[in-house]
Amino acid sequence: MVSLSLLGAYLLLSSKFELKNINVRGVQNIKSEDVSSEINKILSQKKLKFVSAANYFVFQTDVISSNLRKAFPRIGQVKIEKVIPNKLVIEIKERVAAGIWCDGLREESGYPGIFSVAGCFYIDNSGIIFDTAPKSTGSIVFSIIDFREVLFEIGDAPFEPDYISKFANVNKIVSQNFPFGIKEFSLSESGEFEILTTEGWTILLGEKIDERYQLSNLKYILEDEIASRRKNLEYVDLRLGNKVYYKMRD
């Protein structure tokens, strides 16, 4: 019994089992030394009165994972492995930008808040904003200006993944099948989707109708009815399914 107690004390108190060798892998935009520094803050704490949080046997990987995600919103996935006696391997997968999300209300009003002056942020496939971004239009990734009266911080998700997939799909279909591009998407205060084309006219998109069907209707109306008058277009409304409306500029 005494031997077991001594063994337990040795395993918990010996510096041999303190996680000191930290190996950070997979980072690209995040600095590995910053990740190591954040981990060391946690490891320097005391788990019990005399037991370090860095002890191999009491160390909790979920605590590190949670703290890293909060400290670095760019982290999408993190895998943590303990290697006896004192090594910690952190495998990180960073978020990849699917598009650029901009806060339209703050951009218009200019009032101070949690966002930068530009008010634009990278957003990933899961709908989470994770880093500041320049306002960009007409690029490979889509840009969306959000005019809803809702405040979002880095780490929040302004959209569900289905919306992100929809934006990306529309951007791809238009770039591959039409003689114009998308300058930017916008979402109105009431939740209506609009697309500003590179030719200066607008597409009104239905939220609950398949985007491929709506864009096939757009292609038909542009080729069979509007044709060469496209330069005088003000908008095309695709929100009513098989009924397409459009307006020409005066």
The reported pLDDT for the residue numbered 114 is 39
Cα separation, 229 vs 232, in Å, equals 6
Residues with Cβ within 8 Å of residue 224, at least 6 apart in sequence: none
Task: Please check whether residue 123 is in contact with residue 98, taking contact to mean a CB–CB distance below 8 angstroms.
Answer: yes
Strand order in the sheet with 202-205: 129-132, 120-123, 99-103, 142-146, 182-187, 193-197, 202-205, 233-240, 243-248
Calpha distance 149→105 (Å, rounded): 7
* Maximum alpha-carbon separation in the chain: 95
Distance CA 203, CA 128 (A): 25
Residues in the chain: 250
SS3 247: strand
Beta bridge partners of 103: 146
CA 172 from centroid of its chain's CA atoms: 19
Nearest to 144 by CA among 107, 179, 96, 112: 107
Which domains, and CATH codes, for the chain?
13-94 (3.10.20.310), 99-248 (3.40.50.11690)
pLDDT one digit per residue (tens) for the chain, 250 residues: 546 565 555 456 566 778 889 999 999 999 999 999 998 888 887 666 677 777 778 888 888 899 999 999 999 999 999 888 889 999 999 999 999 999 887 655 544 443 333 489 999 999 999 999 887 655 677 899 998 888 888 999 999 999 999 999 999 999 999 999 999 999 888 878 899 999 999 999 988 889 999 999 999 999 999 988 999 999 999 999 889 999 999 7
Contact 18, 88 (CB under 8 A): no
For residue 130, give the 3-state DSSP assignment: strand
Report whether 88 contacts 23 (CB < 8 A).
Answer: yes
pLDDT of residue 57: 80
Query: 176: helix, coil or strand?
Result: helix
Task: Give the per-residue pLDDT at 64.
Answer: 86
